[in-house]
Amino acid sequence: MLRDNGFEKVKLFDAAASTMSALAGSGIEVMVAIPNDQLETMNDYDSAKKWVKRSVTRYLFNGGVDVKYVAVGNEPFLSSYNGSFLNTTLPALQNIQNALNEAGVGDKIKATVPLNADVYYASAVTPSSGRFRADIADLMTNIVEFLAKNSAPFTVNIYPFLSLYSDKSFPFDFAFFDGNAAPVVDGNIQYTNVFDANFDTLVSALAAVGHSAMPIIVGEVGWPTEGDINARAAYAQRFYGGLLRRIAAKDAKSIAPGNFERHWGIFRYDGQPKFAMDLSGQGGQSFLVPAKGVEYLPARWCVFNPATEDLSKLGESITYACTFSDCTALGYGSSCNGLDERGNASYAFNMFFQVQNQADESCYFGGLAMVTTQNASTGTCNFTVQIASAAVQATAASSVVALLSGVSVMLLLLFVL
């Protein structure tokens, strides 16, 4: 699917063997990653060397994986983490880059730290006043110095949607690229969108510590399609359309944060495009090429059992189902927000049922649920059917019954600006 649509780069959140093997021979440039919970382990140099050998150099054979970067953590300095990774990120970065250097690949593969845009701010409102956050200013300066020493890029994740999400008074049109917003004036520059303003704030912050020419990678950028009143496919299409036109013009310019966190991306869980999109940035309205050969589990859904009389455990059962699946579409402003209590129950039960690969015992809930072959989708609310993973197909072929949880890999566009 990635190759069919012309994707040339991909950012991963780990270095799982199954994912890396799938990317072997694809010609796609890859950023592999070390999750935040492994940063402390990487403070030991021997552990860092073993990780590099296991997750990077073993794939660097002819026809292997084109690894370009190693992401050391992901947004480890978010304010919501309360400083959990402040002491372990830089040592991990140093050890991984040094291990890459020792392995003889450090000239081609660079370690970097994907950071959220909250590590910097505009001290006087305008982008030209950009500075690194006061509580981590020294740490950020040390990280930037190390990146520069190793000719590595600064990686930032910029999400204009979050400006709307965190500030209800934020000017709506300023989150997009189509020039409908009142401009923010900074000297001779007029900013008509928050992405450009945010990006230039980072440039100013880097300049303030003596590295105005440091290359910058936008590691993540996007708009969610579910989980919030502003998380809609139409808005995502508007955002991506403007972003891609900007790139084509060569302009240099967990759900803790919100339910929308599970709904970024331009493809659905089954590899089908969410909306029309022209990756060339020319403004076309054709759909991307969907994933081929996708197989689904049988057309079965788990819904509320209308014959049930005792509803005393209904709320508890819904909570349980949503804890172990994804019910974010039921949230305020989302596509399934209009369901009644029994509709909510059906949605929750079905999500749990599909995550459990339609195991019969997963659609019971003390008699509150039942399996049906009639699609329970209604209006904008889609009741999904799980895809048949390779693991499920293999276990079915060998007549081994296994209960597998759904696993998803988020693939994001990687742009070097």
Could you tell me the CATH number of the domain that includes residue 117? 3.20.20.80
Higher pLDDT, residue 263 or 114: 114
Instruction: Tell me whether residue 235 is in a domain.
Output: yes
pLDDT at 399: 28
**What residue numbers bound the domain in which 137 lies?**
2-249
Query: pLDDT (tens digit, 9 = 90+) per residue, 293-330?
Result: 889 999 999 999 999 989 998 988 998 888 778 898 99
Alpha-carbon gap, residue 295 to 269, rounded angstroms? 12
Of 193, 265, 214, nearest to 236 by C-alpha is 265
- When divided into structural domains, the chain yields a total of 2
Domain boundary among 188, 217, 249: 249
Same-domain pairing of 16 and 98: yes
Of 244, 198, 211, 219, nearest to 73 by C-alpha is 219
Of 412, 417, 407, nearest to 28 by C-alpha is 412
Same-domain pairing of 187 and 321: no
Q: Does the pLDDT of residue 414 top 90, yes or no? A: no
Same-domain pairing of 316 and 178: no
**pTM of the predicted model as reported, rounded to 2 decimal places:** 0.68
Same-domain pairing of 319 and 244: no
pLDDT at 251: 56
DSSP 315-349: HHHHHHHHHTS--GGGSTTSTTTT--HHHHHHHHH
Same-domain pairing of 13 and 136: yes
Instruction: Tell me whether residue 407 is in a domain.
Output: no
Same-domain pairing of 211 and 329: no
3-state secondary structure of 381: strand
Higher pLDDT, residue 411 or 246: 246
Same-domain pairing of 118 and 187: yes
Q: Does the pLDDT of residue 404 top 90, yes or no? A: no
Same-domain pairing of 306 and 170: no
Alpha-carbon gap, residue 276 to 5, rounded angstroms? 12
Q: Does the pLDDT of residue 410 top 70, yes or no? A: no
Same-domain pairing of 245 and 343: no
Query: pLDDT (tens digit, 9 = 90+) per residue, 156-211?
Result: 999 999 999 999 899 999 999 887 788 888 988 888 899 999 999 999 999 999 99
pLDDT at 402: 25
Q: How many other C-beta atoms can be found within 10 angstroms of the C-beta atom of residue 180?
A: 12
| Virtual torsion, Cα 39, 40, 41, 43, nearest 10 deg | 90
Instruction: Tell me whether residue 25 is in a domain.
Output: yes
pLDDT at 255: 52
Domain boundary among 224, 249, 274: 249
Active site residues: 75, 220
Same-domain pairing of 214 and 310: no
Instruction: Tell me whether residue 372 is in a domain.
Output: yes
Instruction: Tell me whether residue 41 is in a domain.
Output: yes
Cα radius of gyration rounded to whole Å, the chain: 23
Instruction: Tell me whether residue 278 is in a domain.
Output: no
Same-domain pairing of 234 and 320: no
Same-domain pairing of 308 and 234: no
Tell me the C-alpha to C-alpha distance, in Å, between residue 333 and each of 53, 232, 252, 326. 46, 9, 34, 16
Instruction: Tell me whether residue 393 is in a domain.
Output: no
Of 235, 230, 219, 216, nearest to 177 by C-alpha is 235
